[in-house]
């Protein structure tokens, strides 16, 4: 690889969402198909690799490319067509979920699958095939896509749907931006009759009840999500609080026109009407140590002892994390990572009991735990199972980095032994051995064969791709 010809003004450092990884890259912005292709031609001429980047909200190295080009696609952010009669929308890949819901909600529609933040882009969401709190019901975002067009690094443009170029449809979606660039995406929105959801919140005393209750809630609710107290141990291991939510039916709530307005959904600019949201993470920082988190978790659990039913706007229910901008900075200089495992329903309780116990034993408890119910899907690099996911957020410090690394390798083994899978948008340590273990050699062979077809010069590469699809080595990459 040579970087001699690259202009200095493109050189910069980029980080993952959790600020635990850093890469020196050449950043290029592309705002249309011609500009994307020009970057590919430039990269080929200069012997460089290109990684694609949406909003950069992946927790790991998915949108980083050390020593190479990162192509930022946030400038391709136009809504190309919106039909409020049918709920079909066509948009460029840099359109954020925020722009998407703000476009469709006033007409009585909602994006059927959203991430826990509205800052992500459609291209990034398809690249990882994101899931929402309704994965058990509607599947992933890919299942809502009617058609997309993509530019391949060869300069060829392809249109794909479940029935047209189906092999590319099911592999570009989930393909981590390694097969081609989404340039326009057509999706079906979900009809809603109110801007509000009916929410039922209640505590669960331990891990068994936690997962049983998620499974029991799923059939009759549109969404379910659990908060898990990662610091509780003994009888309370896995305790937490569930939020199950339902759409309101037509006429069920008297003010649909009002609640469907964007202004009714907007998250408040101040906490308690006083503190600007932008400074809240500074107040959180002192609590981001083991005893502080234990205290906050216990307070949250006991405050939730009274079961409650209430109405909540779609935006507030889905994008709770956006209430506190830059909350991840509260983790301090070493940043944070997320470890999310997807485990079949038959083995999840035992696997996570072991994970949580191990994290306590090692003195490295997670600071946040979130549980969801999932179903399998047909996409090539799928992370889903007929079971549950547990996302654990960990603080990284220079003192704990190596021990964390070792513990997460033990986690990987426990999850793999339980028949679980991992998500390429989240985990920072998945090794080639682990990936081939859960995806299977056949899937990896198919992915690499498709990559040879769509990207014959092997221009598309990211730090994640090299880490996970590099040679099986037995050596694991460090977290930094």
In the complex, the residues that contact ligand FAD under the rule CB under 6 A are: 17, 51-58, 62-63, 73, 93, 115-117, 120-121, 123-125, 127-128, 130-132, 176-177, 181-182, 321, 425, 462
- Taking the complex as a whole, the smallest distance from the CB of residue 48 to ligand FAD amounts, in Å, to 15
- Taking the complex as a whole, the smallest distance from the CB of residue 370 to ligand FAD amounts, in Å, to 8
Residue 96's φ and ψ, nearest 5 degrees, are -85, 165
Q: Tell me the residue ranges of DSSP E strands in 367-480.
A: 368-374, 387-395, 421-422
Task: Name the residue nearer to ligand FAD (CB basis): 74 or 259.
Answer: 74
- Taking the complex as a whole, the smallest distance from the CB of residue 57 to ligand FAD amounts, in Å, to 3
* Residues 359 and 230 sit within 8 Å (Cβ to Cβ): yes
* Residues 330 and 126 sit within 8 Å (Cβ to Cβ): no
Task: Name the residue nearer to ligand FAD (CB basis): 57 or 451.
Answer: 57
- Taking the complex as a whole, the smallest distance from the CB of residue 225 to ligand FAD amounts, in Å, to 9
**What's 54's DSSP letter?**
S
Task: Name the residue nearer to ligand FAD (CB basis): 17 or 301.
Answer: 17
Distance CA 331, CA 323 (A): 17
Distance CA 142, CA 165 (A): 15
- Taking the complex as a whole, the smallest distance from the CB of residue 250 to ligand FAD amounts, in Å, to 28
Task: Name the residue nearer to ligand FAD (CB basis): 228 or 232.
Answer: 228
Tokens 């080929």: give the residue: 44
- Taking the complex as a whole, the smallest distance from the CB of residue 332 to ligand FAD amounts, in Å, to 17
Q: Which residue is nearest to ligand FAD (CB)?
A: 124
- The number of residues making up the chain comes to 480
Task: Name the residue nearer to ligand FAD (CB basis): 237 or 336.
Answer: 336
* Residues 188 and 236 sit within 8 Å (Cβ to Cβ): no
- Taking the complex as a whole, the smallest distance from the CB of residue 467 to ligand FAD amounts, in Å, to 12
Task: Name the residue nearer to ligand FAD (CB basis): 414 or 425.
Answer: 425
Distance CA 252, CA 329 (A): 41
Distance CA 158, CA 138 (A): 26
Task: Name the residue nearer to ligand FAD (CB basis): 122 or 237.
Answer: 122
* Residues 55 and 464 sit within 8 Å (Cβ to Cβ): no
């Amino acid at each position: 690889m040579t970087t001699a010809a690259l202009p200095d003004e493109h050189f910069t450092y980029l980080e993952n969402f959790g600020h635990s990884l850093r890469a020196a890259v050449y950043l290029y912005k592309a705002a249309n198909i011609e500009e994307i292709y020009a970057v590919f031609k430039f990269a080929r001429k200069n012997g460089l690799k290109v990684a694609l980047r949406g909003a950069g909200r992946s927790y790991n190295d998915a949108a980083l490319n050390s020593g190479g080009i990162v192509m930022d696609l946030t400038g391709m952010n136009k809504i190309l067509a919106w039909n409020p009669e049918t709920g079909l929308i066509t948009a460029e890949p840099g359109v954020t979920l925020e722009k998407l819901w703000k476009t469709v909600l006033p007409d009585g529609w909602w994006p059927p699958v959203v991430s826990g933040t509205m800052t992500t882009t459609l291209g990034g969401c398809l690249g990882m095939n994101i899931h929402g709190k309704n994965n058990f019901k509607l599947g992933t975002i890919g299942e809502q896509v009617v058609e997309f067009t993509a530019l391949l690094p060869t300069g060829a443009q392809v249109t794909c749907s479940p029935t047209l170029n189906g092999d590319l449809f099911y592999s570009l979606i989930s393909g981590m931006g390694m097969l081609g660039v989404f340039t326009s995406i057509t999706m079906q929105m979900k009809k809603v009759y109110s801007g509000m959801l009916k929410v039922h919140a209640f505590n669960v005393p331990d891990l068994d009840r936690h997962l049983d209750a998620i499974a029991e809630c799923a059939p009759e609710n549109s969404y379910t999500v659990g908060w898990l107290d990662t610091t509780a141990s003994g009888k309370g291991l896995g305790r937490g609080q569930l939020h199950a939510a339902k759409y309101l039916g037509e006429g069920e709530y008297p003010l649909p026109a009002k609640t469907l307005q964007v202004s009714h959904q907007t998250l408040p600019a101040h906490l308690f009407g006083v503190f600007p949201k932008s400074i809240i993470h500074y107040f959180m920082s002192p609590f981001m140590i083991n005893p502080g988190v234990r205290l906050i978790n216990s307070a949250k659990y006991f405050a939730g002892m009274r079961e409650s039913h209430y109405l909540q706007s779609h935006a507030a229910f889905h994008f709770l994390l956006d209430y506190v901008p830059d909350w991840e900075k509260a983790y301090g200089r070493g940043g944070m990572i997320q470890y999310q495992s997807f485990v079949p329903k038959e083995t999840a309780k035992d696997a996570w009991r072991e994970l949580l116990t191990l994290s306590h034993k090692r003195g490295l408890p997670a600071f946040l735990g979130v549980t969801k119910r999932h179903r399998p899907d047909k996409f090539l690099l799928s992370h889903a199972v007929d079971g549950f996911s547990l996302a654990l957020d960990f603080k990284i410090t220079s003192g704990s980095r190596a021990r964390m690394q070792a513990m997460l390798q033990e986690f990987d083994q426990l999850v793999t032994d339980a028949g679980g899978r991992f998500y390429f948008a989240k985990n920072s340590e998945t090794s080639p051995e682990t990936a081939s273990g859960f995806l299977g050699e056949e899937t990896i062979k198919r992915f690499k064969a498709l990559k040879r077809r769509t990207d014959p010069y092997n221009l598309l590469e990211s730090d994640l791709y090299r880490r996970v699809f590099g040679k099986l080595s037995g050596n694991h990459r460090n977290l930094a």
